[in-house]
Structure 1
Amino acid sequence: MVHGTMKSLFFQSFADLGSLINYARSYITRASSSRLPRIPKKTSSKTVEVRCRGEFLYGVSPCLAAIQANRRKIHKIYIKPGVSEKKGVMKRSALDNVWKVAEKRKVDILRLDKSAMETLSGKKPHQGVVMDVSPLHFKKIEPSDCKLSATKRSENPIWLLLDELHDPMNLGAILRCAYFLGVDRVITTAKKCCPLSPAVSKASSGAMELLPVFAVQDMGEFLSEASHEGWKILGTCSSIHEDEMDDNKEVPVIQCSQYMVKEPTIIALGNEGYGLRGYIQKACSAMLTVTPCRELSEGFDSLNVAVAAGILLHTLQQNKKDN
């Protein structure tokens, strides 16, 4: 009888231990699911038909910025297996925001293998995440938008004007600088300019998602109206050589470090190859340049337009602050 009782207690203790383990597992599962959204299991790209409803935005920073800005419609999110998990537990990273927003907006998340992800991103560095999103377009700006309120005018805003910029890497880098350095508005030509593509967003590290870009149809009329409304229009050139100035040799060339922003200002950056067009140069009251810090070899007298933009903007913002 005693032996039977001991045997019964022995098995009962194991049953209680099993219940305790199951309870602990369920508690951990509930706690994890309450903190982080559930992600579907790996899906083979061979069984999934991927259809693009908009365009494929790739990279962690552009995707997160697009979610934060909420300017695009998100159709679907694709991730590479293992990008956000370690030993079955999701890591706390920037990607967690993608999952949370996707769950909140009821956007499907699908896992694709490496080959499929590279196909979606055009073999560009996607960092394990690609989103099917609606495209971004330039916002329209009219010459009448140059008119500012007295309060806004007193802040001496800086607008950046891009004249027929073609390279998406340059445009992306300039947008990143403009956003970081507090440019109030970025304006480009409506024609012969780089579109707001996923490549630009990636090069901008997502700044393109956060900073609206405006396009003007008639640049000459726009600059004329801006000048009439009291805007200071400044061009840029690579050096003080007169042959860069076309027919506008009377416009002074000033080192950017010596210029003080005292009124609303438009800074014009030219094309990577031929710079600012002649009629835009004529609309400028001065040309800014970045002075080299060494004697340069013949034929090497300029900076990349995005690098020049960063130096110019930082210098002018500092001068405005110190003024």
Structure 2
Amino acid sequence: MSTDKIVGRNPVMEALKSGREIDKILIAKGTEGGSLIKIIGKAKDRGIPIQYVERQKLNEISESNAHQGIIATVAAYEYSDLEDILDRAKQRGKDPFILILDEIMDPHNLGSIMRTADAVGVDGIIIPKRRSVGLTATVAKSSAGAIEYVPVAKVSNIAQTIDRIKEKGIWVAGADMSGAKEHYNTDLNGPLALVIGNEGQGISRLIKEKCDFLVKLPMAGQVSSLNASVAAAVLMYEVFRQRSTADN
């Protein structure tokens, strides 16, 4: 594991030149000129998100004022790609079981999801490049070591990735309260990709439309939804239960 932030103009530029995986670049509002223009241009060429923030935020992240108005957040671990995840399932000699996370923002949620994913044999996790937490040091710690064993692919477009997954003969199920059946009344055997939505908004409309079917978790209390990592754990274990039953 390496640092999850790069501070200062020259270090960020060198990271861009080297092809280092960068989640996003934070730039202080009102910062202009010189090397910053080149950094922004190179970042845009690579499709790296740029976010303009107050200088105080950079002070807090860098723990000093020596950031020169720019900080890049980087992956604490290397990402895989979709083909790696599909090959992993093939090598295991079982139906693929993939998790797609639609804009999960909380690093503790992602870490917790990874921990459960490892426990139930998920072949890999797919996250979007934008509006999603990446593989930070906090995620690594929250995963309790699972980050070493669960591949994570970061993709530019979740909707297009779902289309690719479907072409491989994998069914796509979304977790949503509008689902026709409860998770335990739905057949979750066979090649499957499970979609978990954002902590606040759930699965986006477009991604929901891309799903082959939706499943819901029954709720008897006053709170209308579960924490994203809890909902993911319940659904992952239902897939695990059904597969285990089918194998016996």
Fold-level match, TM-score > 0.5? yes
Structure 2: state its 5+ residue gaps. Answer: 5-62, 64-74
Q: How far apart in 2 are the matches of 1:147 and 1:187?
A: 11
CA positional deviation for 1:150: 11
Identity %: 27
Matched residues in 2 for 1:176 and 1:153: separation?
Answer: 19
**Structure 1 residue 320 displacement after superposition:** 1.7
| Paired residues of 2:100 and 2:127 also in contact (CA < 8 A) | yes
Distance 2:182 2:119 in 1: 22
RMSD of equivalent CA atoms:
2.8
Residues 259 and 232 of structure 1: CA distance in aligned 2, closer, same or farther (over 3 Å): same
| Structure 1 residue runs of 4 or more that deviate by more than 3 Å after TM superposition | 145-154
The alpha-carbon distance between structure 1 residues 198 and 231, as it changes in their structure 2 partners (threshold 3 A), is same
SS state at 1:301 partner: coil
CA separation in 1, counterparts of 2:146 and 2:132?
18
Aligned to 1:135: 76
Q: Structure 1, residues 203-233: CA drift from partner, whole Å, max 9, x if none?
A: 1112112222111122222111222221100
Residue 282 (structure 1) aligned with residue 209 (structure 2): yes
CA distance in 2, matches of 1:225, 1:153: 21
CA distance in 1, matches of 2:140, 2:76: 11
In structure 2, relative to structure 1, the CA distance for the partners of 1:259 and 1:153 (3 Å cut) is farther
Q: Which residue of 2 aligns with 1:55?
A: 3
Q: Which has the larger radius of gyration?
A: 1
In 2: Cα distance, 1:178 partner to 1:267 partner: 11
Shift of 1:302: 0.9
Q: Distance in 2 between matches of 1:271 and 1:216?
A: 16
Q: Does 1:309 align with 2:232?
A: yes
Query: What's 2:136 paired with?
Result: 197
Aligned partner of residue 232 in structure 2, secondary structure = helix
Which of 215, 227, 242 aligns to 1:319? It is: 242
Secondary structure at the counterpart of residue 161 of structure 2: helix
- Structure 1: which 5+ residue stretches go unaligned? 1-52, 57-121, 123-133, 241-251
Distance 1:167 1:149 in 2: 27
Work out the CA distance in 1 between the residues paired with 2:169 and 2:82: 18
Distance 1:153 1:228 in 2: 20
- Show the 5 A alignment for 1:88-167: 135-141=76-82, 155-167=94-106
Q: Find the counterpart in structure 2 of residue 269 from structure 1.
A: 196
User: Using a 3 Å threshold, how does the CA distance of structure 1 residues 210 and 227 change in structure 2: closer, same or farther?
Assistant: closer
d(CA) in 2 for partners of 1:257, 1:305: 18
Q: Could you say which residue in structure 1 is the equivalent of 2:47?
A: none
Does the alignment pair 1:173 with 2:112?
yes
Q: Does the 8 A contact of 1:260 with 1:320 survive in 2?
A: no
Matched to 1:55, the amino acid is T
For 1:289 and 1:184, locate their aligned partners in 2 and report how far apart those are by CA, in whole Å. Answer: 23
Between Structure 1 and Structure 2, how many residues are aligned?
177
Match of 1:230 in 2: 169
> Could you list the per-position Cα deviations for residues 33-75 of structure 1 after superposition, in whole angstroms to 9, with x for gaps in the alignment?
xxxxxxxxxxxxxxxxxxxx9428xxxxxxxxxxxxxxxxxxx
Structure 1 residues 226 and 212: alpha-carbon distance in aligned structure 2, compared to 1, 3 A threshold: closer
TM-score, normalised to structure 1, is: 0.50
Give the conservation status (yes or no) of the 8 Å contact 1:232–1:265: yes
8 Å CA contact retained: 2:89, 2:123: no
